[in-house]
Structure 1
Amino acid sequence: MSLRYAVLTLLDIDPGSGYDLKRRFERSVSHFWSASHQQMYRELHKLHDEGLLDCEEQPQAGKPDKKVYSLTDKGRAELRNWVAQPAAPQKIREPFLVRMFAGHHLSRDELHGALDAQLQLHRGLLDNYREQNERVLKSDPALQERYWLAHQTLLLGIEAEKTWITWAEKLLVELEEKREETN
């Protein structure tokens, strides 16, 4: 998948500025897709140049005009065609796992510290996703129905983080057991 379709999908929900889109991105698809602010703006401009987005400038007091993007019919058709295509599963690209693969170069303490730091990051992500889930569950029932499928991706993100945490906690216990065996 490319950022192109994440942007089209988010603008299909509601028109918005680059800033609006980045915030929406962080509160929705960030549990399975990432992009920098610069990448987001580059993609908005590219999609606009291709005729997939309209851009309306809205004046703001004391600030530059706000550019609000929305899908064109051509953009909606592009999104629909993309959604209809089968998607191949993606392989995990996780830098931490490469480090773990080469973890035999670390002392037990260094390995423990690296794993514990990763565990804390995943606990933080899980807390964030659970907060997002609570907001969804407290939202208007009509919105919940409209975005039911989108919500399912968040629920998968929660399960993925729980799996990471279970794996890391188990590995920390095993590291501690190995440390006791050698003492």
Structure 2
Amino acid sequence: MNVRTLCLSILYEEEATGYEIRRLCVEGECSYFVEASFGSIYPALAKLEDEKLVTSRTEQQTGKPAKKVYSITEAGRAAFAEELGAPLGEDVFRSPFLLFARFAHILPRDLVEMRVNEFLQRTVEDRRKLDETFGERGCNAADTWVINYGRAIMEVAEQHLRSHMHELITLARAEPKKDAAE
């Protein structure tokens, strides 16, 4: 999947501005699919518009700059379905926490314990937000399947952290005792 397909997926269900698309890609439901920045979203939307897969209109706003609202066309819907039918690429998983964990052995134990607990709490909070957001929204069967997949991944991560965090903390080096004269 790429940013182009992600834009079509968002517009498939509703009109949106580039800003709204970016918000959904960073903190919304689409943040789990593909990483997208303003620098990639706006060029993708411009190209989609050139290809007549989306249209746009400008809406004036009181006290704010005008905004450009994008809508998918029938050709865009067909192109989106065709792109979904293409072979899937590999899933990409990036985690700053896993880099931290990989080098926990060179860090002070209290720092490792603190970061592991922070990550555990963030994982629990992310799952809670997922439950809350989609509980309020009302989902179709496909959305429910995807949400439940995400919940399962988060539950396994949480269980693994709770069951094995002590191993990571133990790997960290103990702080050398400071000399009383220091």
Using structure 2 for the length normalisation, give the TM-score: 0.79
Which one is further off, 147-156 or 119-128? 147-156
Tell whether the 8 Å contact from 1:11 to 1:70 is kept in structure 2 after alignment. Answer: yes
Match of 1:71 in 2: 72
CA deviation string 1:47-96 (max 9, x = no partner): 22333211111222333222110112332222111111232441432232
Match of 2:12 in 1: 12
Which one is further off, 113-122 or 147-156? 147-156
Match of 2:157 in 1: 164
Q: In the alignment, residue 151 of structure 1 is paired with which amino acid?
A: T
Match of 1:33 in 2: 34
Tell whether the 8 Å contact from 1:27 to 1:132 is kept in structure 2 after alignment. Answer: no
Q: In the alignment, residue 105 of structure 1 is paired with which amino acid?
A: I
* Higher helix content, 1 or 2: 1
Tell whether the 8 Å contact from 2:24 to 2:31 is kept in structure 1 after alignment. Answer: no
CA distance in 1, matches of 2:152, 2:13: 25
Q: Is 1:45–2:46 an aligned residue pair?
A: yes
Match of 1:126 in 2: 127
Q: List alignment gaps of at least 5 residues for structure 1.
A: none
Q: How many percent of aligned residue pairs carry the same amino acid?
A: 27
Q: Is 1:58–2:59 an aligned residue pair?
A: yes
Q: In the alignment, residue 64 of structure 2 is paired with which amino acid?
A: K
Q: CA RMSD in A?
A: 2.5
- In our comparison, the structure showing a higher alpha carbon Rg is 2
- How far is the alpha carbon of 1:178 from its aligned partner? 8.0
Q: List alignment gaps of at least 5 residues for structure 2.
A: 173-182
CA distance in 2, matches of 1:60, 1:91: 39
CA distance in 1, matches of 2:4, 2:28: 18
Match of 2:177 in 1: none
Using structure 1 for the length normalisation, give the TM-score: 0.78
> Cα gap change, 1:175/1:17 in structure 2, threshold over 3 Å: closer, same or farther?
closer
Q: Is 1:2–2:2 an aligned residue pair?
A: yes
Tell whether the 8 Å contact from 2:105 to 2:171 is kept in structure 1 after alignment. Answer: no
In the alignment of these two chains, the number of paired residues is: 171
Match of 2:97 in 1: 96
Tell whether the 8 Å contact from 2:17 to 2:67 is kept in structure 1 after alignment. Answer: yes
